[in-house]
Amino acid sequence: MGKSKLDGVLKAKKQANKPIFVPYIMAGDGGMNNLNNRIQFLEEAGASAIELGLPFSDPVADGPVIQDAGQRALANKTTISSVLEELEKYKLQRNIPIVLMTYINPVWKYGFDQFARDCSKAGVDGIIIPDIPMEEEDDVAFSLTQHEIAFIRLAAMTSTEDRLERIAKRSEGFLYAVSVTGTTGERAQHEKDAYHFLKRLKQVSYVPVLAGFGISTAERARELSAACDGVVVGSKIVQLFEQGDEEAISSLIQESIGVEVIK
């Protein structure tokens, strides 16, 4: 497989010892006409890459904030095709890698090879599919590999050592470490086991390890980044966009990656 833009950007950050920050937004939430503006804003604010959710009616990995965003996006008639068309329209204007997060049912219905082909055409750099187990991923993985799109795997704290090693060795772009047990959403604190888990994954992963789920403050992002290579922040970013507070989003990103914010 060729190296995607995602591989190059994240490995450069890792080698420079700079924390990686990947914000999550829901495509179609706030209207499709706002998608490119939000991507540009997040890039300028210091994001390393952007995780872009595709709305789905049964989002088993998502907490209430992202579920609500998905419902708003579905009400706006957002589809996989409409998102990819919008991404393709502006792909030459953006430098930041785009990672799509979706579920296996809509991808299966779309067709694995057609999905991978259209993602490549739209300038998508990586895919996350949280509800497909490693044992059943071969067909979709093959299609993504054919189109040089990174297939990002998730690793859970409940998995065995052997399974974590196998997941880590298969992951491309980055390894998404689920640092809580449960769905996405804010947490008052992370279990102490999470830090041990992240350090353990770093020992076996060829790609950067990013902690996700339950991160809502810059302080928590910095704490977890000290044990791995960076973080993915979703619910807080989605919530702040819904509230129209872009200044808070910019501060969260910059404080998380250690940029001094002048207020």
- Residues marked active site are found at 51, 62
Residue appearing with tokens 């068309």: 85
| Other beta carbons within 10 Å of 97 | 25
CA distance 88 to 86: 5
β-sheet bridge partners, residue 128:
101, 152
CA distance 215 to 131: 21
Q: Are 108 and 136 in contact (CB under 8 A)?
A: no
Q: Are 125 and 5 in contact (CB under 8 A)?
A: yes
Closest CA to 53 of 23, 33, 75: 23
Element (DSSP H or E) covering residue 230: strand 230-233
Phi first, then psi: give them for residue 100, nearest 5 degrees: -90, 140
Element (DSSP H or E) covering residue 100: strand 98-101
Q: How many helices (H) and strands (E) does the chain have?
A: 12, 9
Tokens of 254: 């910059």
Radius of gyration for the alpha carbons in the chain, expressed in angstroms and rounded:
17
Which one-letter DSSP state was computed for residue 228?
S
Identify the burial level of 204 via C-beta atoms within 10 angstroms of its C-beta, where 0-12 means exposed, 13-18 middle and 19 or more buried.
middle
